[in-house]
Structure 1
Amino acid sequence: MQAEEVKQIIESHLSDAEVMTAGEGCDFQVTVISPQFAGLMPVKKQQLVYQCLNEYIANGTIHALTIKTYTPEQWQSLQG
């Protein structure tokens, strides 16, 4: 699996999300920025992303996944 495929899968499940991916093979890092994360605890944000990729984690296509999640406002504040 390629990073671009992971990005497309997440974007197809989380409408209006901005997704950045890195990695290859079965090890990926994703950063997801979405207004859907507003008011959610960090673990709930990650669960939303995991739900998008559950099938691929379960069948071993994705073995390692690092997730960073932000609301657009949080992401903007990190950009300085």
Structure 2
Amino acid sequence: MECNEIEQLLSEALSLEEVHVSQDGTHYKIVAVGECFDGVSRVKQQQMIYAPLMEQVTSGALHAITINAFTPTQWKREKIFNMPG
């Protein structure tokens, strides 16, 4: 499955401000940014992201997935801390 297809699915399903998907072989990394994650537990955030992808997960099109979900405020802080020095 193409990264841009995953980004589109998630953006439409969750009204995200940003979504970034990268792929390394069969492993996908998803970074999702949206107000919808505010005050939501990490487990619930992951469930929210998995839900629109469930068909692809069960079919085997998506295998290994790493999810990082942020509110816009958390994402700004994350980018500052992870900038190369």
Q: Deviation of residue 31 (structure 1)?
A: 0.1
Runs of 4+ in 1 over 4 A off after TM superposition: none
Contact 1:2/1:24 (CA < 8 Å) preserved in 2?
Answer: no
Instruction: Return 5+ residue gaps in structure 1 as ranges.
Output: none
The size of the alignment, in residue pairs, is 80
Scaled by the length of structure 2, the TM-score of the pair is: 0.86
Partner of 1:13: 13
RMSD: 1.4
Structure 2 residue ranges without an equivalent (≥5): 81-85
SS in 2 for 1:11: helix
CA deviation digits over 1:16-41, x for unaligned, max 9? Answer: 33100100664211100010000011
Q: Does 2:43 align with 1:38?
A: no
Structure 2 distance, partners of 1:55, 1:31, is 20
Taking the aligned partners of 2:78 and 2:27, their CA distance within structure 1 comes to 25
Q: Do the aligned residues in 2 keep the contact of 1:17 with 1:34 (CA within 8 Å)?
A: yes
Q: CA contact under 8 A between 1:45 and 1:69: conserved in structure 2?
A: yes
